[in-house]
Structure 1
Amino acid sequence: MVSTGAVPNLAFRRLRGQRSAGEFAAAVRRAAREIGEQVACDARYIGRVESGEIRCPNYAYERVFLHMFPGTTLADLGFSSRETVRGRGARATVGTPPPTAPHRDTDEESDVLRRVFMTSGTATMATATLGLGGTPAAAAARPAPRRVGEAEVSAVEKAVRQIRLLDDRHGGDGLYRKASRPLRIAYALLDSGAAAKRSTAGRLHAGAGELAISVGWLAHDSGRFEDARSHYAEALATARVAGDAALEAHAFCNASFLARDTGRPRESVRAAEAGQRAAQPLGSPRLLALLALREAGGRAGLGDRVGCERAIGRAHAAFGHGRSDADPEWMSFFREAELEFLEAQCWSVLGEWSRAARHARRAVRLQDPHFTRNLALYRAELTWDLARAGEAAQAAAEGHRVLDLLDRVRSTRIRAMLAGSVTALRPQRGTREVREFLERHDEVSGTRE
């Protein structure tokens, strides 16, 4: 891969004037709040722009910068055009595109969710004839729904995959509202009863249910817990109507996770056990391993150390059987790194901070860097465990690494975890490493200007 080298952005540096990089970053965050944006801007980000490392800002930063400097263009601010950085021109320059675009805005990418669902002509027609746009009178004047076939079902399945891909990169905050639209369309297709074949109807039920779980997860990750609960319940009802054990197991898996996160550990255990019953005949040891870890998390919340250890043991035994052709597609995230992370969370809840930190560190080491959201999540867990274990300087170092990822990841859940670590570390602010981390966190979060 040929590198062209970074060219300093002198125009942007001139706009900063006499202000320090930190002061200018604070001004950027204030401007963002004025227009309803949220950007994790700090002195490091300003330095990366001025050095030319960031050749074109993501869409959120673009809106903020143009708000700060009315009448200017990106070119006036010293940036390259988006097409040359991310489009065909950029690919021709560097040879091979990177596997992940690290600073792509979630608003831009979540628009893909609409395009995925609307690119098929037949899907567009089905959507229109089902009255999902326009006035009621116009909908009534349209012809009856045509038969739902391969194009529509494939569009639902593609939307599910796209949501998961974007979530792996960026977290749920920027995606949830826009991902809800394909979900409404999917259930409208389902409710129309217009599937051409029994097999098509089965795939449509499964696709709509998986889409409900995916949108529910986005709600969960962005702190909209009641919305998440509703979506998971919708998926479970769809599974029961269709007699789809795989979908039922997935819905119970996520419902258990949500119950644990919202302080209902007994419900978490019951949902995990129900998921294991549904999953038993499916032939996927990895699915049983994940559900056992969900149970372990619930039992940890109940203070049931013995039950938690037993569930963790079952999870390791099942995971050790390896992958299977019966493993669900949605479980692509469940690798050894996730196993270590979920075990870390159990020990953390039980108050064994050093043991939890060992597992969290393994999770970070094993994680594929393309799963950006999960890498930030694992590092946030490690920060918390180290802080509670009394390893303040190490916790601060990990906290910096989480902040480095927050420009790319919008997750209320991760921010809340990091905020908990900050609270735990404040009594140690006399230590230089801790003080620098706390100051940077406060600067980025707007806690202190």
Structure 2
Amino acid sequence: MTHANCPRCGGRLARDNDSGRCTPCQAAERDRLSAPPVVPASFWDHEPVRQALAERHLGRLIRAYRSHPYHGRVALPQTVVASWLSITQAQLSRVENGPPLVHLDRLAHWAQILRIPASRLWFGLPDQPFQIRNRIAEGRADDSQAHGQIIEQGEVPAMAVTVEEAPTGGGGATDRRRFNAMAALAGLAAAGHPYLLTGSADAANIGMEQVRLASSLVQDLRRADAAAGADQLCDVAIQAHARLSAWAARATYSREVGDALQSALADLGIQVAWLATDAERRREARPYLNEAITRARIADDPRMEVQALTQLSMLLRESQPGESLHCAEAALRVSAGWATPRLTTLLHLRRAHTYAVLTDASGFSREMTKARRDLERGPHEDDLGFVDFVNEQEVNGIQGLSYLALDRPDRAAQSFRAIIANPSPGHRRNQVYYAVHLSQATYQQGDVNEAARIALDALPAVSQMNSGRITRNLAQVRSNLATSRQVTTAARQFVSAYDSAVKA
């Protein structure tokens, strides 16, 4: 008869030992109940642990941790691990079985308690170099050989790795999407922002250097968002906003720095709100915009106030269209006298789309005419950074969305096709967004085959995005095609490809 070995120390177990542990390890049982044990490096290569890491789900990781053979034949009780984390057993059960945690402070704190190696994590730990590593679906420990080495602070310039440069071999669409987002975050760290994202902040004084760094972070977030979408960036931006807000509350600074800091925090809050919107976390967005308006007024910064009002108008369009119109009107009023043509174009587009949601065709037509008239006046040296995306493609896109709201899929399809025919490379996420809507418009026209073909062509690009809005819209296309009375070969091909991509 072959003797079993103790999974903790490797020693051979006696024939009559049915505990799964040798005597010395059983003697150490009391210690493991009071605090997490120091586990060997091989502990993290256990398949359930690797899978949980690949899924970026700390709750499932904790469950895999408790059930690891290292602890013996009987899993660690939830009550024991919950006590380590200073929560109740019921709370731990919800963490293990519920949706992934998104609060970075809690993620980092619990990872430190459980002694999870920083190199295995998908987020940074305080007081440690910010590291981002691609996690392929199999959760391989040597994935750096498959998709590049760990990217650390100062190793690459900001946004050096883009969506177009992302690897396409191995792992499937889900892995490429994850890699794209991780590369974007690595770019933020390399740009000089890691202390905002993961490090400790003990500065008693804030100067213009910190304010400038916060402003540059917003620009990097915008570039990363335009390339890969908001899902992976949203929590990073939320954490950075929380850290800067905490500094502002306790640090000292001059009046000049204070005004600049309020404007920088407002700008970051507006960006957080947009990322939350694109990530389909709309409920989280409005408080940031309300705060941004307050900060802009404290700093006497009408440009930042207009930016917040513009974003708020878009956020409220579907749920509170009347208030959406008021926000856009207020932005036009505040910016009167200094608004550039591209800014007024955007504000008229906000109003045009909202009128379409209200099924007010005349209001839509009036505002769209104003938007196109202002766009023809061209860019201006005083254009604010947040209007960079306002171009002919965006005007066509909003026009197409408005026609969909007005139940004019034929006109909507014309607008979306104009975008596809003349793409804007700098705003790849928007291109994909409108391509999916072209499929929706074509389906509403009754051309199931063409809708399926367009959706199938867009599927690889959607798989590389991290945009909850795009994902939701493509899921609706899939639902429409799967339940259509005309279940054609093209529709079945798309549904099958979509389902395979989701499972990958």
The two structures have a TM-score, normalised by structure 1, of 0.73
1:195 and 2:274 matched: no
Aligned to 2:135: 62
| Pair 1:193–1:311, CA change in 2 (3 A) | farther
1:278 and 2:351 matched: no
Q: Which structure is higher in helix share?
A: 1
Of 326, 345, 362, the match for 1:289: 345
Of 300, 305, 314, the match for 1:248: 305
Q: Is this contact kept in 2: 1:113–1:182, CA < 8 A?
A: no
Aligned to 1:425: 481
Q: For residues 85 and 192 of structure 1, what CA distance do their matches in structure 2 show?
A: 33
Q: Deviations over 1:113-152 (max 9, x none)?
A: 456565689x988x213xxxxxxxxxxxxxxx22x22210
Structure 1: give runs of 5+ residues left out of the alignment: 1-30, 39-57, 130-144
1:109 and 2:128 matched: no
Please state how far the C-alpha of 1:437 moved relative to its aligned partner: 0.8
| Pair 1:90–1:292, CA change in 2 (3 A) | closer
Aligned to 1:170: 228
Q: Is this contact kept in 2: 1:246–1:282, CA < 8 A?
A: no
Please state how far the C-alpha of 1:32 moved relative to its aligned partner: 6.3
Q: For residues 182 and 189 of structure 1, what CA distance do their matches in structure 2 show?
A: 11
Q: Tell me which structure has the larger Cα radius of gyration.
A: 2
Please state how far the C-alpha of 1:202 moved relative to its aligned partner: 3.1
1:444 and 2:501 matched: yes
| Pair 1:195–1:232, CA change in 2 (3 A) | same
1:179 and 2:237 matched: yes
Structure 2: give runs of 5+ residues left out of the alignment: 1-49, 58-121, 123-131, 167-175
1:392 and 2:448 matched: yes
Aligned to 2:280: 223
1:301 and 2:320 matched: no
Give the counterpart letter for 2:202 in structure 1. A
Give the counterpart letter for 1:151 in structure 2. E
Please state how far the C-alpha of 1:440 moved relative to its aligned partner: 1.2
Give the counterpart letter for 1:320 in structure 2. E
Please state how far the C-alpha of 1:418 moved relative to its aligned partner: 1.1
Q: Is this contact kept in 1: 2:54–2:138, CA < 8 A?
A: no
Q: For residues 432 and 80 of structure 1, what CA distance do their matches in structure 2 show?
A: 36
Aligned to 1:235: 292
Q: For residues 380 and 276 of structure 2, what CA distance do their matches in structure 1 show?
A: 30
In the TM superposition, 1:153-168 aligns within 5 A as 153-168=211-226
Q: For residues 52 and 491 of structure 2, what CA distance do their matches in structure 1 show?
A: 27
Range with greater deviation from structure 2 (345-354 or 226-235) = 226-235
Aligned to 2:315: 258
Aligned to 1:329: 385
Q: Is this contact kept in 2: 1:285–1:321, CA < 8 A?
A: yes
1:435 and 2:454 matched: no
Q: For residues 60 and 393 of structure 1, what CA distance do their matches in structure 2 show?
A: 40
1:401 and 2:457 matched: yes
Give the number of equivalent residue pairs.
368
Q: For residues 207 and 303 of structure 2, what CA distance do their matches in structure 1 show?
A: 22
1:382 and 2:438 matched: yes
Q: For residues 124 and 190 of structure 1, what CA distance do their matches in structure 2 show?
A: 17
Counterpart of 1:282 in 2: which secondary structure? coil
Q: Is this contact kept in 1: 2:156–2:190, CA < 8 A?
A: no
The two structures have a TM-score, normalised by structure 2, of 0.66
| Pair 1:350–1:254, CA change in 2 (3 A) | same
Aligned to 2:80: none
Aligned to 1:46: none
Q: Is this contact kept in 2: 1:296–1:346, CA < 8 A?
A: yes
Structure with more relative contact order (C-alpha pairs < 8 Å, separation 6 or more): 1
Counterpart of 2:317 in 1: which secondary structure? helix
| Pair 1:433–1:315, CA change in 2 (3 A) | same
Percent identical residues: 23
Please state how far the C-alpha of 1:355 moved relative to its aligned partner: 0.2
1:367 and 2:423 matched: yes
Q: For residues 161 and 185 of structure 2, what CA distance do their matches in structure 1 show?
A: 20
Q: Which runs of 4+ in 1 moved over 6 A?
A: 31-34, 58-61, 96-99
Of 192, 196, 207, the match for 2:264: 207
What RMSD over aligned residues (CA atoms) do the two structures have, in Å? 3.5
Aligned to 1:339: 395
Q: For residues 60 and 398 of structure 1, what CA distance do their matches in structure 2 show?
A: 33
Please state how far the C-alpha of 1:166 moved relative to its aligned partner: 0.9
In the TM superposition, 1:126-141 aligns within 5 A as 127-129=201-203
Q: Is this contact kept in 1: 2:193–2:217, CA < 8 A?
A: no
Q: For residues 384 and 151 of structure 2, what CA distance do their matches in structure 1 show?
A: 36
| Pair 1:97–1:348, CA change in 2 (3 A) | closer
